[in-house]
Amino acid sequence: MGRNVLIGVTGSIAAYKAAELVRLFVKNGDEVRVLMTPAACEFIAPLTFQTLSRNPVAVDQFAQPAEWKPEHISLAEWADIALVAPATANTIAKMAYGLADNLLTATLLATRARVAVAPAMNDGMWGSQAMLENIEKLRSRGVLVMSPGEGDLACGRRGLGRMPEPADILEALK
C-alpha cells in the first residue's frame, strides 16, 4: 500500500511476533522502520528487524542521529502509521500520561501519524483498573487500541492478554 509504517517493539515475550508483523507489512508494499525499547532487545535482536525491514533499527534515544534532526522527530514526521506491537502495560501507561523517557515514547509523543497499539500482557494486568483507565484515555485521543487475544499466556496461565496475531493487526490497519 506504500505507507510509512513505524513499528515500536517493547519488552514482551510477544516481541517475536513483531518480526512476522514487519515481514507482512513489507510484503504488503509498505516501508517499515522499527523502534525498539531497550527491554525489547532482551527478547529479540535489532538485527532481526533490520534484516526484515531493510532499514536501520533505532533503540538509543541519545545515539548520533543520521539526519540533522533528533531521531525521535525525524521518525515522528516520517510515519504515516505508528504501531506499538507488542504494547506492554508499561508503555501503554507511559503513552496515557505523555511520558517520553525512551526513543519510542518520545517519538509517539511527537508524531501526528495515526497511532495504534497491540497489547500484550498478563490477564491480570489487562483487566486491572489502571489499565482500563489508560486504555480509555488513549482511545479518547484517537489511538486505535486492538483487543488482545485469549489463550495461553507466558506466565503459564490461560486468559485474555495475548498480542493479536500479526495478520489480524495488518488487516486492522489497512
Q: Which residues are catalytic?
A: 155
HEC secondary structure over the chain: CCCEEEEEECCCCCHHHHHHHHHHHHHCCCEEEEEECCCHHHCCCHHHHHHHHCCCEECCCCCCCCCCCCHHHHHHHHCCEEEEEEECHHHHHHHHHCCCCCHHHHHHHHCCCEEEEEECCCHHHHCCHHHHHHHHHHHHCCCEECCCEEEECCCCCEEEEECCCHHHHHHHCC
